[in-house]
A and B are shown apart, each in its own frame.
Chain A
């Protein structure tokens, strides 16, 4: 179900609840109103019954039949009012009680009519009239007090009902929220985890099932982005290598310039001196040409090794040999940029199990980074040593550059983070970090503004 539908459903349920409360309250108020109306009517009736009984007493006392007439008039009024509010009374006390009331009134009326026909001092008549009068009065008084009590009971009961209703609504709301949104929240968490992973260079996927809602499409989008990044990562690494290659080219041009010049000089000298050269000298010239050609070939090979996509070629190596080889590749660049490089390589370090080319790539990348931030006269120091516990061989690359701002430090291994602007892809260090991580190694940095930056590469000792 989509989130928008869930929200709509939630709202509909709320509206149904409110309507339900409204209907119940309306019914309840209607019911209470009927009860109160009845109590009012019954009070009126009670009062007129009391009046009738008073006239009845006066008749028996004075024997004046006008009192009986008065009773009759009042009785007719009462009967009229009882039947006019018949519905109200039935609703309040039920049909049977209404009938009982009507019957009592009729009986009283009958008794009064009989009294008119007989003598005022007829004891039997007196008794019948008194009896039915008393019954009528008692009955009406009884139902009035009964109804009053009922109204009070209902009112005090409704307080509790209100409270329970409130509790039920709260519980239902909580349960509904949990049911609707627990999956939503867990999906959000999962997305958050994935985003963190990706920012650390691990192109993982969002865990959990596709929920089919808007979050589901967000998750699918993130997954396809992660896949895309993963597949392009290699391409990016390649292009970054080409970029480093561009920087290396300046150094290489110089490196190639010397042997080419040497060959040219030998050839020119031979042309000039051909007639005067001994066979030995001629062979010497040719040997020189051969050596210089080999020198060029070596440089070209080194370049190819660096730029070619390489298959993993892991073997046990002496780290110092790798450091020396890397330095050889960037030596000219350092020279041309006027940057001094010092190496302090500890002898007899234990072997490390590494892909030489990849580690070389990391070292060259670090040195190129240093060259880019150093001004002529700057210093790059490379040290190798065994970590205190003896589990890792450490390579330290230190420069005397401007340092990295503290706020940038936590991000420098993050892909695409760059302080070089258009000059950098922001991938160099993240690629290096990935390479070292693949070797089960560790890479970290320490930096002080205006003092310099030191990178530490720690590779596990081969056992």
Chain B
């Protein structure tokens, strides 16, 4: 799908067309450069980081995957879920319980998939005709029920104390080893990134945007609203479920606290701060919610993370609806249009 620029386009539109056109030489050069830089970054991290930080970066990858899931549900489809961390927790506890019972990894993955689909559907169906607060409330209830189950069924889940998880071990590779954890988490994140990027190029993705922005328009186009919403919930649960599953093996420990209301709120911070509807946004958001607490802990002010998170939700929602990713692409557009045109036009742009 290329756009043919016409002779009398304004400079800014040319710049936009240049950004949108997928086959221009300049864009391919940029992409190559980006890929090389990323590869360099990954290698540097792999070789240079300490064991502790490797695990942290692995968590960045996993939280990013989960954030992508919430982005699909909330960022793209507009369904405000307040229990996303519960989906994450479901995957984590599957890992914990299944490995305690010696279930094979392949089977575990199948179980995670099944549970994610079920959980996504269970939360989705009652919320199909709801919006706003009622929808959020039902998702919140689901999260509460799960929390209650995790805390109460001590004999199964270890209660609020949590359970340890034996690291995943295949062919001599053990996720307890930070380098392995890093590579495996990165691999999952890359797969998720590719799939999510692909979503933007599909009718499935467009349906979600339509449901978010105008259910009326979506209906008028013949879009099946309930089905789109259920699919969004299930996708969110799948992303978070797999991320949670690997999380358990990377961190080696699961506890209900990690999957409660606050972490769900932080996932929301990640989506909104990073920027809804974009892959870059999910990475930025995921990185923030993992790295910022580390930085605050180092600075001796661990509680500031929650405080900042709350403030950011407010400020970004009100002032920067596109989040960081939106801000970045706005800057990119300006930079490109400044390059293409001469001194600023009458409106100062």
Q: Does chain A bind chain B? A: no
Which residues of A are at the interface with B, using a C-beta cutoff of 8 A? none
